[in-house]
Amino acid sequence: MPIAVDIDVMLARRKMSVGELADRVGITPANLAVLKNGRAKAVRFATLAALCEALDCQPGDLLRWEAVAAAGGRRVPGRPGAMTEAAATTPRRSNGT
């Protein structure tokens, strides 16, 4: 998945357990584990805000984008404005306008 979740990094920095964070945020430890392990399909803004409040951080500290290279499917750490080589060399399709 191109969105990487770094909740475990912030938990370690704050010396907080998954159970403690789940209690502070108001979600189950199982649901927090789904989010933490990158298996969640979505996250509510209210949950993201509660995570940021409990961990005293910004959303960008918890979530980051990683491009997936077209060849081989390996992840390329994302940078704002950066493109993978495949994306930069692939012609864009016109929408007919």
Which tens digit of pLDDT belongs to each residue from 19-73? 999 999 999 999 999 999 999 999 999 999 999 999 999 999 999 999 886 656 6
Return the closest-CA partner of residue 51 out of 2, 11, 96, 4: 11
Per DSSP, which regions of the chain are E strands? 3-5, 63-68, 75-77
* 32: its two tokens: 């927090």
Q: Where are the domains of the chain?
A: 3-64
Q: What pLDDT score does 75 carry?
A: 59
Q: Give how far Cα 85 sits from Cα of 25, 32, 65, 90, Å.
A: 40, 35, 16, 9
Can you identify the CATH homologous superfamily of domain 3-64?
Answer: lambda repressor-like DNA-binding domains (1.10.260.40)
Q: What pLDDT score does 93 carry?
A: 55
- Is the predicted pLDDT of residue 84 greater than 50, yes or no? no
How far apart, in whole angstroms, are the C-alpha atoms of residue 89 and residue 53?
A: 41
Angle at CA of residue 25, ends 23 and 26, nearest 5°: 65
